[in-house]
Amino acid sequence: MFTRHVDRSLSRYHDGDLPTAQRQRVEAHLTSCGRCRAALEEIEFSAKLVRQLTAVSAPPSVWNGIDAASAGSHRDVGRRFPLRWAAACAVVLVIVSSAYWWTRDSRVGPWEVAQTRDGISRRMTSGEWVDTVDGSEARIIVGALGTVAVAPGTRVRLGEITQSEYRLALAQGTISAEIVAPPRLFIVDTPASTVVDLGCAYTVTVGEDGAGQLRMTSGWAALEFKGRESLVPAGAICRTRPGAGPGTPFFEDAPAALKQAVDDFDEGTRREQALAVIIREARARDTLTLWHLLSRVDKSDRARVYDRIAAFEPPPAGVSRSQLLTLDADALRKWREELAWKW
Amino acid sequence: MSRIRYLAGAAAAVAVVAASASAGTMFRIEIGSPVALGVNKFFKKNDKKVVLAVRAVVCQDLANVRITGTAEGLVAGKRQSLPIMLAAVEPAEAIYAIHHQWPAEGAWVLHLKGACGNPRAEASTLVAVSKGTFIREKSEVLREPATKKQIEDAVAALARSQS
């Protein structure tokens, strides 16, 4: 699809000078464009650097020089001082630019990993493995975004770091991530799915067979695999299976029967019975599970799922039953955003 | 007999007035998952952890509803109260995001309050928070201002459940 980049509007966006409609367009674009997100980061970083500059008093010799020059002819002042100021500005500009490029490089440098067994913190590069199979623990510093705790018995490969992406691959074991960053900047690949951070804290576990589980402790994340996506908010769990991708998310505090039925449904065992249990046991909060099922059940069962969700929360204005039953993407998103007030 | 009729009529009138008054107090402050804000809306240039979404409902003048809040906490036996900032997401619809801005230690309850001009009503919501998320089953949506006792009870109950 043709995409118009928004880099020309980013300075005004950063300063909060854009009208609401334009701001929303920029924000929408930023969610899917790594290039513009990186450009915004550079603007933010430069602005931060400028804010950190402190005013320093000039030494007395400078003021003496100014006084002496002031005593001279006005024509001399007009000729010499602009040159001096220009030179001073150029020096400041060079210092600021150097500082920016120096620190900018360090931001996208190698990973920093602290392993608790030897207590040593070391720099590791993309492609290296953090291995705690010996029973040790480790902590990975994800730039300025946050940290990832690596539990004993885990293998994680450090991926590429770019301005728009930090990537890890979890082969086996458990990691707990705490990330404070714009959505989609931190990504964890697992054998069954990819965990895309949307501003959150979570724990991912991968077993020997490659199957795994995502447990959200705050915010929300998306699990993705070959176009299939599960959104998992805080308090919810989603399992993944190799080849099948992300399963159906459910809240940890959901009725036990519902949780078992979700597992059965995802594994394809007694699907019809499992769906009946989910529909029967669902609470208002479990519309999280039902909303995901809407696009995963057979067409003949879709109306039953729709009716159960609608009993808790009818679709918002402008969204029709027929749109939802035909899985109109925009209608599904609008309903999800309304249902999430109960999640 | 006519006196009884008069009293019955008066009682009915009082009931009608009471019913219409209570209809005006459906105004409330709802809380929800950050998912409710959508990625496009809640993506911010200096994004921090969004703990929950907040909105006012059942008010004909949502654009003028202002929601404010405090974090009420009990840390190591000491009672604390901190003002919290609400980030406007859709001010015209009174939709806000709340980022994590209170200490990680202790038990914290967010006291959110707002007023609607039409119909005139006040409401509040007490939100139990823990480890960067909110606990829905321990939160209370009230169709009136929370009393000091309700706030203290909520903080104490959360602290007890965490000990």
8 Å CB contact between B115 and B122: yes
Quote the pLDDT of residue B154. 98
Is cis: bond before A315, omega within 30 of 0?
Answer: no
Quote the pLDDT of residue A135. 87
Average pLDDT over residues A305-330: 97
Interface of B with A (CB under 8 A): 30-51, 53, 55, 100, 131-134, 136-137
Q: Is the pLDDT of residue A70 over 70?
A: no
First to last CA, chain B: 63
Higher pLDDT residue, B161 or A197?
B161
pLDDT digits (tens, 9 = 90+) for B20-55: 444 446 999 999 998 898 865 555 544 667 899 999
Average pLDDT over residues A319-338: 96
Q: For chain A, what percent of residues have pLDDT higher than 90?
A: 54
Q: Tokens for A175?
A: 């990691």
The kind and range of the H/E element at A337 are: helix A329-339
Residue B50, min C-alpha distance to chain A (Å): 6
pLDDT digits (tens, 9 = 90+) for B58-67: 999 999 999 9
Q: ipTM of this predicted complex?
A: 0.80
Quote the pLDDT of residue A105. 43
Q: How many CB atoms lie within 10 A of CB B34?
A: 29
pLDDT, chain A, mean? 84
Give me the phi and psi of A111, to 5 degrees please: -70, 150
Q: Tokens for B77?
A: 């036996």
Which of B38, B47, B133 has the CB atom closest to A234's CB atom?
B133
pLDDT digits (tens, 9 = 90+) for B132-153: 889 999 999 999 999 999 999 9
Average pLDDT over residues A191-197: 93
Q: How far is CA B63 from CA B66, B91, B140, in A?
A: 8, 6, 24
Chain A nearest-CA residue for B88 = A20
Q: How confident is the model at residue A235 (pLDDT cuts 50, 70, 90)?
A: very high
A227 backbone φψ class: left, alpha, beta (φ>0; ψ -120 to 50): left
Q: Which of B27, B64, B36 is nearest to B142 (CA)?
A: B27
pLDDT digits (tens, 9 = 90+) for A34-69: 667 667 766 765 665 555 444 445 555 555 655 665
Residues 6+ apart with CB under 8 A from A50: A96
Quote the pLDDT of residue A15. 76
pTM, 2 dp: 0.72
Q: Which of A279, A184, A293 is nearest to A230 (CA)?
A: A293
Quote the pLDDT of residue A52. 46
8 Å CB contact between A112 and A121: yes
Q: How confident is the model at residue A14 (pLDDT cuts 50, 70, 90)?
A: confident
Residue B82's Cβ-count burial label (10 Å; 0-12, 13-18, 19+) is: middle
8 Å CB contact between A217 and A234: yes
Distance CA A100, CA A94 (A): 10
Segments making up each domain of chain B, as ranges: 27-162
List % helix, strand, coil for chain A (3-state, nearest 5).
45, 25, 30
Most confidently predicted of A110-124, A161-175, B47-61: A161-175
Chain A nearest-CA residue for B31 = A341
Distance CA A252, CA A216 (A): 10
Pairing of strands A186-189, A165-179: parallel
Higher pLDDT residue, A25 or B14?
A25
Which of A20-34, A193-207, A283-297 is the least confident region?
A: A20-34
Which of B33, B42, B133 has the CB atom closest to A217's CB atom?
B133
Measured in whole angstroms, the distance separating CA B29 from the mean position of its chain's CA atoms is: 4
pLDDT, chain B, mean? 86
- Sign of the Cα pseudo-torsion (A163, A164, A166, A170, in order): negative
Q: How far is CA A105 from CA A101, A143, B28, in A?
A: 6, 12, 50
Beta bridge partners of A173: A206
Chain B nearest-CA residue for A39 = B45
- Sign of the Cα pseudo-torsion (A103, A104, A109, A114, in order): positive
CATH (residue range B27-162): 2.60.40
A contact test, residue of B28, B31, B33 with most A CBs within 10 A: B33
Residue B14, min C-alpha distance to chain A (Å): 33
Q: Which of A294, A292, A42, A278 is nearest to A162 (CA)?
A: A42
Average pLDDT over residues A293-313: 97
A contact test, residue of B37, B43, B90 with most A CBs within 10 A: B43
Distance CA A168, CA A327 (A): 33
- Measured between beta carbons, which residues in chain A are less than 8 angstroms from residue B100? 218
